[in-house]
Structure 1
């Protein structure tokens, strides 16, 4: 069987990356300003906390997901049979790996590592398509092997923050291929430009959504899958009974209302403003190169000696997400969550100090 080479950027090999490392590990047990986790600050909002709290009186009954499922379906203009509610989008990757008769899976990197980890856990050999910095980490459908029967891509992609055109992703669809698009951060994009959620004209399309990022529900675990009813049924068969708790179901239904969607849109527009401020500040540093095409609530930056800079930032009270656990990146990369202007300004001052300190470390090591 033919395998592709590194030069093809279609790479089958055992993972040498810590695919289970996530941003929460950067802030656990320490009082740091969190730029490592991409959950929107000051969430969940009061009205959502109250809805969740009110649901606690019904915990004696088993969860009933019908109303939440119908709300998600209506929000995307789909019949309920196209929706599966999950304990966060991460559960969906495990279900896909277990339920689908996959033989030649491909994951487009750099991206969220959980899909590849889930596929490897059930014994799949995963091929990687590595997008390159010199191409702006933009997707070229021609890089994906024709024989791939499962393709996973993020949009906007974590950690690059690149938003791929919907039609470019749709070109990856083939008869007999499942095309998984992780849209966990799409609701942080104004107008949800380039979304494929709700599309039924793309064969084999599976869209994953998360409610944990925009609404601050990472601890509640709620997301959903949008797919053909046959795919939904296959995933549901390998899902545990009552996988989504009553409070999570109530949250999902609440986040589908018109008022909630309008609030999410306002938040997305504010993120765009704050991201522009962060990128403008980063551009003042000669040592920092950012992926300026960022469209998500985070920015990927390249800094020589980023591992030292990250440690100095911790000393100064800021947590940044290391990039070396993402296939296709290395120790010179950091991911920074977009925060409010005051926090960003404090961070930029700390970054200035961290870069000076890191430069001193490099000079002293050379002299030694």
Structure 2
């Protein structure tokens, strides 16, 4: 068990601003995208229609009251505990700028924007590095007792680990904000281990994104669930009208009963497609390929010698995958793969076999 203080320019080692979309657009090649964790075939037609219908109201300033109430109802919370944001990523910036903290800690490997936002705001960030030999599972004892801001993802990007809600809740302390990024939780069947909607965990701040399941990364919509005083502090740090009218229409639509039922069905399909991908990857164990298990998110993390060379060969074969060396706690032997439909997965597995044989 250890923590790693990172006061000295960690970005020289890990590019915290690198994201999966860079793998797809670097050279303009037409690549099958396994690098970005946005669900394929989204947004659906009904959601596009709802967004398009909102365009007639663009002359008016955005009014987020209906969307905020809909999100609150979806989680059984009062509206005072909900803040709508321009994607979950905006929430990381708001937390870094609006909340006075002395000792922020980020649990890695995970999405790198929380640390980047904290550093941009002038904070010295400490890292708790979960270990591959432990399956990247959370041990709450690894987090310093006097940390007053702790950030963790669940399920975690890029490891695909779903931490028990009880283990995360053990991180709560008086005087500490416990920030849980649940951007991919609605892709988990039955939203197991969710903390969204809980009011009994002191200092809990849950972030949700609507961009992953509904394919709205270009629209930017997410939300924060937290105590009213935290919501008020974050809201004061937002610019005026931070969420556009089309994004508000999308938020209201995506938390309705029909959308929740569709997302629940998609979560079960993702689980089945992930099982197919994992079964296909097993045949490459002789090449030294291993996968972090159990995988619970719409992506998997694999370890492979010469992963960088394999990633470049896959690009030549028409497939983009996410490099792992930009995540603290990982390195050049790691790759992340988005879960896709079986036809796409089978084509990828064939390309992976060729890429490995070429090496």
TM-score range, shorter chain: over 0.9
Please tell me whether residue 87 in structure 1 is matched to residue 81 in structure 2: no
Measured against aligned partners, the alpha-carbon deviations of 1:295-341 in whole angstroms (never above 9, x if no partner) come to: 00000000100000000000000000000000000001000000000
- Correspondence 1:80-119 to 2 at 5 A: 80-119=79-118
Partner of 2:133: 134
Measured against aligned partners, the alpha-carbon deviations of 1:233-288 in whole angstroms (never above 9, x if no partner) come to: 00000100000000000000000111100000000000000000000000110221
Q: Distance in 1 between matches of 2:300 and 2:183?
A: 16
Q: Secondary structure at the match of 1:27?
A: helix
Partner of 1:264: 263
Please tell me whether residue 184 in structure 1 is matched to residue 183 in structure 2: yes
Equivalent pair of 2:3/2:126 in contact (CA under 8 Å): no
Q: Secondary structure at the match of 2:283?
A: coil
Return structure 1 stretches of 4+ with deviation > 6 angstroms.
Answer: none
Gapped runs of 5+ residues in structure 2?
none
Please tell me whether residue 289 in structure 1 is matched to residue 298 in structure 2: no
- Correspondence 1:155-194 to 2 at 5 A: 155-194=154-193
Q: CA deviation at 1:356?
A: 1.2
Partner of 1:25: 22
Equivalent pair of 1:188/1:271 in contact (CA under 8 Å): yes
Q: Distance in 2 between matches of 1:244 and 1:316?
A: 39
Q: Distance in 1 between matches of 2:96 and 2:29?
A: 34
Q: Distance in 2 between matches of 1:260 and 1:290?
A: 32
Q: Distance in 1 between matches of 2:356 and 2:292?
A: 19
Q: CA deviation at 1:11?
A: 3.0
Partner of 1:226: 225
Q: Secondary structure at the match of 1:310?
A: helix
Equivalent pair of 2:308/2:323 in contact (CA under 8 Å): yes
Q: CA deviation at 1:8?
A: 1.9
Q: CA deviation at 1:19?
A: 0.1
Please tell me whether residue 316 in structure 1 is matched to residue 317 in structure 2: yes
Q: Distance in 2 between matches of 1:321 and 1:130?
A: 20
User: Which moves more between the two structures, 146-155 or 286-295?
Assistant: 286-295
Equivalent pair of 1:279/1:292 in contact (CA under 8 Å): no
Q: Secondary structure at the match of 1:334?
A: strand
Equivalent pair of 1:132/1:138 in contact (CA under 8 Å): yes
Please tell me whether residue 145 in structure 1 is matched to residue 144 in structure 2: yes
Q: CA deviation at 1:86?
A: 0.2
Partner of 1:68: 67
Partner of 2:252: 253
Q: CA deviation at 1:55?
A: 0.5
Partner of 1:3: none
Q: Distance in 2 between matches of 1:102 and 1:271?
A: 38
Q: CA deviation at 1:292?
A: 2.0
Q: Distance in 1 between matches of 2:225 and 2:172?
A: 16
Q: Distance in 2 between matches of 1:81 and 1:216?
A: 27
Q: Distance in 2 between matches of 1:8 and 1:76?
A: 36
Please tell me whether residue 301 in structure 1 is matched to residue 295 in structure 2: no
Q: Distance in 2 between matches of 1:252 and 1:65?
A: 10
Q: Secondary structure at the match of 2:284?
A: coil
Q: Distance in 2 between matches of 1:92 and 1:221?
A: 11
Please tell me whether residue 12 in structure 1 is matched to residue 12 in structure 2: no
Partner of 2:216: 217
Q: Distance in 2 between matches of 1:92 and 1:230?
A: 15
Equivalent pair of 1:10/1:145 in contact (CA under 8 Å): no
Q: Distance in 2 between matches of 1:121 and 1:19?
A: 11
Question: Would the alpha carbon gap of residues 294 and 63 (structure 1) be closer, same or farther in structure 2, given more than 3 Å must change?
Answer: same
Q: Secondary structure at the match of 2:110?
A: coil
Q: Distance in 2 between matches of 1:329 and 1:70?
A: 40
What is the number of equivalent residue pairs in this alignment? Answer: 352
